[in-house]
């Protein structure tokens, strides 16, 4: 969001997860995951996260010395999900004595509002209004394109082993794209379910969108999941579904194309279609 606001040149550091747009990858990395999930299967990641949460341990380490050397005026973080990124509480515990902004949107409207909050904080309010407005216009265009069409039943898997029903803004994405999310709860955290629950909900399609995964990794894990016997499409959740940022509008366009290919053009985002399991 900072780059989209035209402020990329103000960034002095980033988290290990912040890799877009590509030019930010040259910045110093001030966080590290305490659990290396790159070679772990979904069930192993879930177990490791549960152990850390049960023990009260953070999943991330802050490089306090590096942050002090970088001398930031503002740290932008979140308190929405302690599993996904460094929290504002962890920043405060480090006593870095730096102004901290926590962005914690839970709905699409709150994502757009958070763009404005960040823009105002860094002194580019007009750019924030333009960026949020563009996001909202693109979503309205999708809604208009699918209005009145049959609404397929959709299960978005925010995790696959065990399966998690979608939460926060993701069920709203499905609704905006012209579908009905059969288990997800808008504005609420994602929640564990079973594949029997998914089958009982009778989805017409499953969207494999594990939090933080690209399409290839999602497809590999979805191929081994029991599934409810309907088509499965793996998507790049890390870029277009998991993160509360303007690129959610592109994810909605992709969902709408998957559900209503005759009404909404293909935005060209990564997707892998699997045979029903």
What whole-number distance in Å separates Cα of residue 246 and Cα of residue 130? Answer: 11
Q: In 147-247, which residue ranges form alpha helices assigned H by DSSP?
A: 170-176, 195-200, 215-222, 237-240
On whether the pTM is more than 0.85, the answer is yes
Domain ranges of the chain: 8-104, 149-274
For residue 199, pLDDT beyond 60 = yes
Query: Model confidence at 87, in pLDDT bands (50, 70, 90)?
Result: low
Strand partners, 168: 186
**Which tens digits make up the pLDDT trace of 119-175?**
999 999 999 999 999 999 999 999 999 999 999 999 999 999 999 999 999 999 999
> Would you say 198 and 183 are in contact if contact means Cβ atoms under 8 Å apart?
yes
Burial label, 219 (beta-carbon count in 10 A; 0-12, 13-18, 19+): buried
What contacts 208, CB < 8 A, 6 or more positions away? 157, 160, 218, 219, 221, 222, 225, 232, 233, 234, 235, 274
CATH class of segment(s) 149-274: alpha beta
pLDDT of residue 121: 96
């Amino acid at each position: 969001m900072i780059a989209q606001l035209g402020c990329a040149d103000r960034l002095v550091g980033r988290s290990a997860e912040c890799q877009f747009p590509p030019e930010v990858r040259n910045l110093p990395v001030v966080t590290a995951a305490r659990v290396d999930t790159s070679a772990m299967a979904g069930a192993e990641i879930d177990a490791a996260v549960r152990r850390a949460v049960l023990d009260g341990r953070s999943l991330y380490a802050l490089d306090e010395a590096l942050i002090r050397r970088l001398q930031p005026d503002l740290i932008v973080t979140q308190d929405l999900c302690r599993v996904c990124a460094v929290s504002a509480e962890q920043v405060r515990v480090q006593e870095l004595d730096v102004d901290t902004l926590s962005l914690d949107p839970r709905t699409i409207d709150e994502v757009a509002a958070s763009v404005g909050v960040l823009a105002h904080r860094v002194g580019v309010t007009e750019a924030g209004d333009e960026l949020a407005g563009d996001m909202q216009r693109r979503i309205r265009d999708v809604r208009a394109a699918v209005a009145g069409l049959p609404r397929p039943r959709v299960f978005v898997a925010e995790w696959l082993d065990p399966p998690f029903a979608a939460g926060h803004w993701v069920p709203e994405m499905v609704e905006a794209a012209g579908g009905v999310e059969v288990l997800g709860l808008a504005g609420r955290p994602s929640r564990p379910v079973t594949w029997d629950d998914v089958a009982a909900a009778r989805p017409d399609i499953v969207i494999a969108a594990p939090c933080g995964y690209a399409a290839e990794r999602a497809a590999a894990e979805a191929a081994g999941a029991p599934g409810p016997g309907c088509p499965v499409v793996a998507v790049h959740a890390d870029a277009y579904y998991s993160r509360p940022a303007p690129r959610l509008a592109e994810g909605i366009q992709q969902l709408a194309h998957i559900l209503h290919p005759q009404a909404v053009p293909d935005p060209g985002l990564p997707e892998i279609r699997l045979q029903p399991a």
